[in-house]
Amino acid sequence: MTYWRQFSAAAGTALLVYVAGAAEQVPTAQPSSSAQPSSSTQPSLIGRFGFNWLKPKQARCAQISAALAKKFTTCEQPSEGSFTGRGDFFACKLAGGEYMIYATRARCQEEIDTMRANEP
């Protein structure tokens, strides 16, 4: 499992630490002024599509904006699959929820449809 964790370093700054599984190399932690790691170390989530799976009735695929991406406190690519069983997503936490983020709107919608089909 790989993920980014944000720690407060000082007023107006943050320290992002990349955590990787035993078989993966861990890059040096980089200071940053936003919650998103640099594009050279993690694919940008901006422009991808996601939804807050903790609010299934309100969930809809939304394009991830820079403003929304800055609200993420952690993002990880889970080792377990999503609602369809695939592992092609990022799970990003923020106050009040957790977004599942996919490369395309179609993949995002497929996950929402599967999630809703399996609700009690």
Using one digit for the tens of pLDDT, what is the confidence trace for 59-102? Answer: 999 999 999 999 999 999 998 899 999 999 999 999 989 999 99
pLDDT at 100: 97
Between 3-17, 54-68, 88-102, 104-118, the lowest mean confidence (pLDDT) is in 3-17
pLDDT at 28: 31
Question: Whose CA is closest to 49, among 20, 88, 81?
Answer: 88
pLDDT in tens, 22-35: 333 333 333 333 44
Average pLDDT over residues 105-114: 97
Q: Where are the domains of the chain?
A: 2-117
Which residue type occupies 37? P
Question: Whose CA is closest to 82, among 63, 66, 58, 59?
Answer: 59
